[in-house]
């Protein structure tokens, strides 16, 4: 069921036209990535969704109701918003930051406290952080609190605007894993903005590529990467980064072959089923073998990874 609809939306800033005749439909429970270079209109789209900006023309429908019919405060409260410059209140401790919106609507203190405990754990930090102040946390930890705060009022929709852009690579990866877990656990609708193709492939199930306010491609992850028709714009934007990122996001376990005619006496190089297809290809090259034995954590052989047949599995996913 559709949760957000843009119907022929136009948005301009004075004489700068950002969107025109813009259509987009997002279903409940989707994890959609809005991908594109700086200035293509990503932030504008998010701000139109939560009512911070108004469209010049066209309609935006949120949960079956025209955005103009929503009470703006109620609308914003039904959405979590995470941005790069986290924006925690420096004079409030972490618990009060997380519970900021709950406090506004006068939720009881003990309920707020329990919610803060639950959320801080969900974003991978322990309870002891609740009494600290933002300045006592690293950038990555503050970003986790930003995510917790966005989830506090149990919104159905979460908007994330390049939320992990300012943190180091390792922290970023761990935040990406955390948000994937949260998505799987809570099943919210997430609209995640990034200019980073690797992040897009890692996180989203659907990727919308924007080119100056227009949709260049809008596909599920596999078709996005493996479809042959690509615009010059997409080619220039990705090079082969989308493909490499895709190969590193698919696990060996998805490309298993069961072969009975194999020579059981030969010992093939081993690879763990949890590793990526990219790692599998690398191992084939390094060991000069076009076949690997795939094992689980206990070392039990689960099947074989065969270079010639990778494409079959990838296309069937
Ligand atoms: N408040 C504003 N006033 C004038 N122009 C703006 C304003 N905000 C954004 N723009 C312009 O609109 C275009 C899209 O901006 P934005 O949605 O922020 O892109 P993105 O988030 O993809 O980088 C850019 O050309 C930007 O310069
Ligand atoms: Mg932006």
Which positions ≥6 away from 136 have C-beta within 8 Å?
A: none
- C-alpha angle 157/34/235, rounded to 5°? 160
Query: What was the pLDDT predicted at 178?
Result: 87
CA distance 201 to 178: 15
Average pLDDT value for residue range 161-175: 86
Q: What is the mean pLDDT of residues 248-256?
A: 94
What is the mean pLDDT of the segment spanning 148-157? 90
pLDDT at 67: 95
Distance (Å, whole) CA 96 – CA 88: 10
Q: Which fold has domain 2-248?
A: Rossmann fold (3.40.50)
CA atoms of 99 and 90, how far apart (whole Å): 14
CA of 44 to the centre of ligand 1 (A): 7
**In angstroms, rounded to a whole number, what is the distance separating the alpha carbons of residues 31 and 206?**
7
Q: Which of 213, 216, 217 is nearest to 55 (CA)?
A: 213
Instruction: Name the phi and psi angles at 92, rounded to 5.
Output: -105, 145
Please, which pLDDT band fits residue 264 given cuts at 50, 70 and 90? low
Show the tokens assigned to 309: 């047949």
| For residue 37, pLDDT beyond 90 | yes
Ordered by start, the domain boundaries in the chain are 2-248, 251-316
Please give the distance, rounded to the nearest whole angstrom, from the Cα atom of residue 228 to the centre of ligand 1.
32
Q: What are the beta bridge partners of residue 33? A: 192, 207
Closest CA to 219 of 40, 49, 62, 33: 33
304 Cα: distance to centroid of ligand 2 (angstroms): 44
Give the pLDDT band of residue 18 (cuts 50, 70, 90): very high
**pLDDT value at residue 260:** 66
194 pocket-lining for ligand 1 (C-beta < 6 Å): no
Measured from the CB, is residue 213 less than 6 Å from ligand 1? no
Per-residue model confidence (pLDDT) at position 203: 92
CA 86 – CA 143 distance, rounded (Å)? 6
172 falls in which pLDDT band (50, 70, 90)?
confident
User: What is the arithmetic mean of pLDDT over 154-167?
Assistant: 90
Taking the centre of ligand 1 as the mean of its atom positions, its distance from the CA of residue 286, in whole angstroms, is: 47
Mean pLDDT of 262-291: 91
Q: What is the pLDDT of residues 38-58, one digit of tens each?
A: 999 999 999 999 999 999 999
Residue nearest to atom 2 of ligand 1 (CA): 13
- What are the strands of the beta sheet with 270-272, ordered from one edge? 270-272, 291-295, 301-306
Q: Which CATH class is domain 251-316?
A: alpha beta
Among 12, 18, 85, residue to substitute to test ligand 1 (most atoms within 8 Å of Cβ): 18
pLDDT per residue as tens digits for the range 109-132:
999 999 999 899 888 899 999 999
Strand partners, 6: 24, 60
Tokens of 256: 């298993």
Q: Nearest Cα to 160, choosing from 5, 36, 67, 32?
A: 32
Residue of 228 and 101 predicted with greater confidence: 101
Residue 41 CB-half CA count within 13 A: 24
Using the atom order of ligand 1, give the atom closest to the CA of residue 210. 22
CA of 235 to the centre of ligand 2 (A): 22
Q: Are 84 and 161 in contact (CB under 8 A)?
A: yes
196-215: per-residue pLDDT in tens? Answer: 999 999 998 999 999 999 99
Q: Name the residue with the closest Cα to ligand 1, atom 4.
A: 13
Q: 18: which 2 tokens?
A: 């950002």
Residue 79 CA to ligand 1 centre (angstroms)? 22
| Most confident region among 231-240, 256-265, 295-304 by mean pLDDT | 295-304
CB of 40 closer than 6 angstroms to any ligand 1 atom: yes
pLDDT more than 70, % of the chain: 98
């Amino acid at each position: 069921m559709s949760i957000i609809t843009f119907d022929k939306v136009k948005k301009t800033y004075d004489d700068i036209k950002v969107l025109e005749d813009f259509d987009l439909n997002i279903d409940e429970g989707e994890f959609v990535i809005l991908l594109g270079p700086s200035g293509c209109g990503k932030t504008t789209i998010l701000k139109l969704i939560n009512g911070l900006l108004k469209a010049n023309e066209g309609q935006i429908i949120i949960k079956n109701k025209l955005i103009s019919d929503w009470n703006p405060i109620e609308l914003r409260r039904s959405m979590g918003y995470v941005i790069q410059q986290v924006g925690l209140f420096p004079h409030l401790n972490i618990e009060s930051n997380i519970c900021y919106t709950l406090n506004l609507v006068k939720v009881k203190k003990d309920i707020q406290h329990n919610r803060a405990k639950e959320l801080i754990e969900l974003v991978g930090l322990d309870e002891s952080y609740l009494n600290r102040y933002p300045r006592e946390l690293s950038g990555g930890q503050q970003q986790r609190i930003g995510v917790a705060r966005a989830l506090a009022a149990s919104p159905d929709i979460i908007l994330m605007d390049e939320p992990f852009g300012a943190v180091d690579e390792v922290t970023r990866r761990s935040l990406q894993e955390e948000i994937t877990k949260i998505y799987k656990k809570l099943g919210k609708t997430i609209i995640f903005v990034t200019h980073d193709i690797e992040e897009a492939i890692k996180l989203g199930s659907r990727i919308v590529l924007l080119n100056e306010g227009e949709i260049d491609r809008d596909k599920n992850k596999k078709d996005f990467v493996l479809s042959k028709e690509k615009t010059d714009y997409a080619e220039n934007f990705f090079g082969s980064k989308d493909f490499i990122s895709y190969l590193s996001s698919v696990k060996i376990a998805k490309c298993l072959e069961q072969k009975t005619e194999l020579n059981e006496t030969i010992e093939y190089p081993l690879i763990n089923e949890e590793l990526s297809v990219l790692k599998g290809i690398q191992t084939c090259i390094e060991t000069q073998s076009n076949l690997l034995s795939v094992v689980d954590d206990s070392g039990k052989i689960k099947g074989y990874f065969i270079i010639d047949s990778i494409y079959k599995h990838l296309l069937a996913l």
